[in-house]
Structure 1
Amino acid sequence: MEKPFERTLILIYTGPLFDSHLHLYDPTRAEGIPWPQPGDAVYGPRLPADYWAQAEPCGVIGAMVVEASPRREDNDWVLCTLDQDPRLVGYIGNLDPLAATFGADLERLAADVRFRGIRYGNLWGRDLLADQQQTGFIDSLAHVAERGLVLDSANPDARLIQALLALSDRLPHLRIVVDHLPNAPDLAFTAELQELASRPQVMAKLAEIPQVGDHGLIRDAAFYLDVLGRLLELFGEDRCFFGSDWPNSDHLANFTTTLDLVKACMATQPAHTQEKFFLHNAPRIYGLPGAFR
C-alpha cells in the first residue's frame, strides 16, 4: 500500500494563506519583555508592520498572534497592538488557570472576538500534567471550553502528550491544538500520540518544520516527509494547518524560505488538501470570521 508522501510531486500551492502562529513584542516598552532576551537574534521590536513586510509578499491574507509572555497584562497589550492591522484577526492569550484572576481575565479578554483561547504547556516553568491535578485548574479550563475557546499547547514532548491525553479525558469538549509537532519527530510514531490524534477535538498545528543539520538548514523536503506524512495520516486533512512561528522561525530561516520549504513538503498532497492546510482549517478550528474559512 502506498504510504503518505511516497507519491510524486503534484503541485506547489500558490493560493492565499492564513498564518496561525506568530509572535508580537516590543522590548522598548518601559516594562520590557520576558522573551526574547538581549543578544537573541530575534530581539528587538516585532510589530504588525514588521510581520506584514515579510508575509504579505508571500500571499498571507490573515493571521493569528500567539502570546509570547506569561504576564497577564501583556494580553491587553497584544490585543491593542492587533488594532494596527485588520488582517490580524485572531489571538491566543497566555493566562494561568491557577491564578485567582483567571476568571475575570478570561471574561474581559473573551469580550473581544479576536481572543480565541489560551496557551499552556512546557513553557514558563509550567507542567500541564502536574498542574491539572491542582484544585481549580480543570474548572478554569472548563470555562475556556464553555466559551468555545481553544487550548493551544507548547513545546511537545512525551510528558506533554500524556498531559493532553489526561486533560482530554477530563474535558472531552475542550478543543486542543498541539503546537509544533514537527519539531518533535519521534512523537509522530508513539502510541500516545496516535491515541491523542484519534480524538476529534484535538488538532495539529504544523509549525516549526525547518531543522538544522551538520551543514545548516536542511532544505531537502524529503528529509521531512515521513514525519509530516505520519502526522497528516494521524490527524487527517481537516485537523492539520500551517503556522510560521515568525519571528522565532528566523533563528533558522527567513519567512520566505520557511514557507517555501513547507510548500515543498505539502506538494505531494492534492490541491484541496493543501488549500485546507494553508487557508481554511485554522480559521474554522479557531472560530474566526467567515471570510477566512
Structure 2
Amino acid sequence: MTAVDRYTGPIIDSHIHLFDASRDEGIPWPEPGHPLHGVALAADYWALAEKHRITGAIVVEASHWRLDNFWLLERVRQSPHLLGFIGNLSPFDAAFHDDLSRLEREPLFLGLRYGNLWQRDVLDDQTRPGFIEAMQRLAATGRTLDSANPDPRLIKGLIRLSDAVPTLRIVVDHLPSASVPGEHWADFQRDVLALAERPNVFAKLAEIPQQGNEGLVTDPAFYRDRLAYLWDAFGEDRCFFGSDWPNSNSVADFDSTVNLVRHCMADKPLAVQEKFFLRNVAHAYSLPVLQGAR
C-alpha cells in the first residue's frame, strides 16, 4: 500500500472536548490531579489540526453540569470551524425539557450524550419514569444521541432503547476501545452486530490507538483485525472518524493519532476512506455541510 492510496482530503473530526479549569467554578472533568486537568480550547485544537486538513470538528460535552451546555455553546459560536456540539442533559433533571427547548433553537446543537458514566446506566435508566419520553422528545428535535463508555451492558441498553424509540439516531462512541472481559467478547460482538441491524445506529471509531508492552502499537494490521467486526456490522456508510482530543493524549499525541488512523484505513478504496473521514458524520448528525467550515 503506497502513500498515494491514503486519503489526504478534508476531514471532519467528530469528537473533541473543550474545557477550562481556570474558570471560577472549575470543571468536573478532568479532575484536579488528572494529567489533562487544565485548559483545552478551540485555538489549542486548531493549532494541531489544521495541518492534517481537518476543516471541521464537533465538540462533545465532557461535563455533566447542565449550565456547562451553555458555556460550551458560546465556545462553539466563537470558533467558525466548529460545526456544533453534543450536549449533556439528564432526563431526570427538573429543567430537562426547558433546557432542551432552549437548545433545540440553536443550529449548533447537534444532540445529547448519555451513557454509562456520571453514575448513569442506559439499561436501568430507561425503565425509570420519564426517560423514554425524553428520548422521544430528543428524536422529535431531529438531533442525535451519543452514547458513552461502551461495554456489554451499554450495548444491550442501546438495543432496547433503539427498539423503544426507533426514530432516534444513535451514535455509539469509542467502540474500538470497548471494555469487555475476554469471556464475554463473543457475546459482545453478537450484540454489536444486532445493534447495527438498526439503520439509525452509527459507529464513531474514536479511541482507535492502543498502547502495548512497548508503547504505542503502530502496526496497521493490529488495528484492522480489531476493527474488522465493526466494519462488518456497520458497513462503509455508518462508520466515521473521531480523534477524542485531548483525551487521546493519554495514549498518543495528536499527530500520531491522525496518522495512525489514516494508515489503518489505507487498505480501503479512496471513496470509502472519504466517507469515513468526511461524509458519514454529516448523515449521523444531519449536518448541512460536508466539507468543514460553516
Q: Tell me whether the two structures share a fold, i.e. TM-score over 0.5.
A: yes
Structure-1 separation of matches of 2:263 and 2:147: 26
Structure-1 separation of matches of 2:163 and 2:79: 38
Asked if 2 retains the 8 angstrom alpha-carbon contact of 1:114 and 1:288, the reply is no
Asked if 2 retains the 8 angstrom alpha-carbon contact of 1:185 and 1:227, the reply is no
Aligned to 1:41: 35
* Count of aligned positions: 286
Asked if 2 retains the 8 angstrom alpha-carbon contact of 1:20 and 1:282, the reply is yes
Aligned to 2:256: 257
Aligned to 1:64: 58
Aligned to 1:177: 171
Aligned to 1:222: 221
Deviation per residue, 1:91-134 (Å, 9 max, x gap): 10000012111111001011110101100011111011000000
Query: Matches of residues 1-293 of structure 1 in structure 2 within 5 Å?
Result: 11-184=5-178, 190-292=189-291
Asked if 2 retains the 8 angstrom alpha-carbon contact of 1:217 and 1:252, the reply is yes
Structure-1 separation of matches of 2:46 and 2:288: 20
Asked if 2 retains the 8 angstrom alpha-carbon contact of 1:24 and 1:78, the reply is yes
Structure-2 separation of matches of 1:86 and 1:211: 32
Structure-1 separation of matches of 2:116 and 2:9: 34
Structure-2 separation of matches of 1:264 and 1:160: 29
Asked if 2 retains the 8 angstrom alpha-carbon contact of 1:283 and 1:292, the reply is no
Q: Structure 1 length as normaliser, TM-score?
A: 0.94
Instruction: Tell me which moved more, 228-237 or 240-249.
Output: 228-237
Q: Structure 2 length as normaliser, TM-score?
A: 0.94
Measured after TM superposition, the shift of residue 185 of structure 1 is 7.5
Equivalent residue of 2:262, what SS?
helix
Structure-2 separation of matches of 1:253 and 1:64: 20
Structure-2 separation of matches of 1:264 and 1:25: 30
Structure-2 separation of matches of 1:41 and 1:59: 28
Measured after TM superposition, the shift of residue 289 of structure 1 is 2.3
Equivalent residue of 2:35, what SS?
coil
Aligned to 1:4: none
Cα RMSD, aligned residues only = 1.5
Ranges in structure 1 where 5+ consecutive residues have no aligned partner: 1-7
Equivalent residue of 1:140, what SS?
helix
Structure-2 separation of matches of 1:204 and 1:290: 20
Equivalent residue of 1:129, what SS?
helix
Measured after TM superposition, the shift of residue 193 of structure 1 is 0.9
Measured after TM superposition, the shift of residue 83 of structure 1 is 2.1
| Identical residues among aligned pairs (%) | 55
Ranges in structure 2 where 5+ consecutive residues have no aligned partner: none
Amino acid aligned to 2:111:
G
Equivalent residue of 2:39, what SS?
coil
Asked if 1 retains the 8 angstrom alpha-carbon contact of 2:282 and 2:290, the reply is no
Amino acid aligned to 2:139:
A
